[in-house]
Amino acid sequence: MRYKETKSGKSRVVAPSSSVIDELKRHRIAQAEEQLKIGIRPDDNSFVVAQVDGSPLKPVSLTHEWTRLLAKTSLPKIRFHDLRHSHATQLLAAGVHPKIASERLGHSTIGITLDLYSHVMPGMQANAAEQVDAAIQSARKPSTK
């Protein structure tokens, strides 16, 4: 990935999960081992997602690798950018507040996140109906005080 200004010109920090941090640590160790094999001294300040020599990964290289990896699986063939949409949808489906999802994606408004990036997945409508029904049924039960 390239380090560059964001579209908005504002910086942001996106908190990774503990499992992502663990995976990045494992990757960093493997990366350092590969660099040592080719005579490069690993640098703690270099990119984690990078070329073997530590230089920034070009977007076309990432796209090529993504396509190659997908071809080995039975997963749907999606663009790398579509992972942003998937992330937004999964955040909202998990009950994460739309403002937090919007901040993670770097959107200026939650409308962009809700209207353009989140998608209704199969079962969401039925799940919403069940949640409303459960709330109504709970309210109808007599109090046991």
Give 46's contacts (C-beta < 8 A, 6+ positions apart). Answer: 54
- Alpha-carbon span 31 to 46, nearest angstrom: 11
Using 50, 70 and 90 to split pLDDT, how confident is the model at 3?
A: low
- How crowded is the C-beta side of 145, counted as CA atoms within 13 Å? 1
Domain positions in the chain are: 1-75, 81-145
Whether residue 144 is predicted with pLDDT greater than 70 in this model: the reply is: no
Give residue-wise pLDDT tens across range 92-132. Answer: 889 899 999 999 998 989 998 888 888 777 777 788 888 89
Give residue-wise pLDDT tens across range 59-91. Answer: 899 899 999 999 999 999 999 999 999 999 999
Angle between helices 98-105 and 82-93 (to 10 degrees): 160
> pLDDT value at position 143?
67
Tokens 């309210």 correspond to: 139
The pTM of the full predicted model, rounded to 2 decimals, is: 0.70
> pLDDT value at position 13?
81
Q: Which residues pair with 56 in a beta bridge?
A: 50
Whether residue 141 is predicted with pLDDT greater than 80 in this model: the reply is: no
